[in-house]
């Protein structure tokens, strides 16, 4: 494992949106157990936004400049120290991010395999992007 997927981490929703959803579900705040329930509770609890200076060091495309980037508290020595309790967004990464797949490094084995499969089945790629957008629309 190269650890690049976790350094930095990103997602399609803004942190503000995630906090709003958590506030609706947990009006009294998150307890230590709530923090591991799902993506939203995990992200608010353990992902810390990068500083402007840290962001300026990233080589971002125009589209990526509108995204939020974070460091995860569990990322240590290029490894996840929370592997068994990592949330779905980590387990399925980068599937949630197919429209942003270019953020992955060029020699990422996962990215290259996925590209190969998606290029062979272009319709499936389009379907997956539409499905991702639909799910985001439902969650909004």
Residues at the contact surface with ligand SF4, assessed by CB under 6 A: 6, 9, 72, 74-75, 80, 82, 86, 90
CB of 111 to ligand SF4, least distance (A): 16
Minimum CB separation of residue 27 from ligand SF4 in Å reads: 26
Quick one: 81 or 130, whose CB is closer to ligand SF4?
81
The smaller minimum CB distance to ligand SF4, of residues 71 and 125, is found at 71
Nearer to ligand SF4, 56 or 84 (CB): 84
Report in angstroms the alpha-carbon separations of 136 from 9, 26, 93, 102.
Answer: 18, 20, 16, 20
Closest CA to 65 of 10, 3, 7: 10
Shortest distance (Å) from residue 48 CB to ligand SF4? 11
Closest to ligand SF4 by CB, 64 vs 82, is: 82
Please report the beta strands in 1-140, taking only residues with DSSP state E, as ranges in sequence order.
Answer: 9-10, 47-49, 69-72, 75-76, 79-80
10 Å Cβ neighbour count for 74? 17
Q: How many Cα neighbours within 13 Å face the side chain of 123?
A: 0
Per DSSP, the three-state class of 59 is: coil
Q: How far is the CB of 38 from ligand SF4 (least distance, A)?
A: 13
């Amino acid at each position: 494992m190269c650890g690049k997927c976790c350094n930095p981490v990103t997602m399609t929703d803004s942190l503000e949106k995630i906090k709003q959803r958590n506030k609706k579900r947990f009006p009294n705040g998150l307890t230590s157990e709530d923090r591991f329930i799902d993506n939203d509770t995990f992200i608010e609890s353990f992902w810390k936004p990068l500083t402007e200076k840290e962001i300026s060091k990233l080589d971002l495309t125009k589209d990526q400049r509108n995204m939020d980037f974070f460091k995860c508290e569990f990322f240590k020595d290029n490894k996840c120290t929370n592997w068994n309790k990592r949330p779905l967004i980590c387990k399925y990464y980068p599937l949630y991010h197919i429209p942003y797949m270019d953020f992955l490094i060029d020699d990422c084995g996962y990215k290259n395999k996925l590209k190969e499969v998606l290029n062979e089945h272009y319709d499936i790629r389009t379907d997956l992007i539409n499905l991702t957008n639909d799910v985001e629309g439902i969650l909004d």
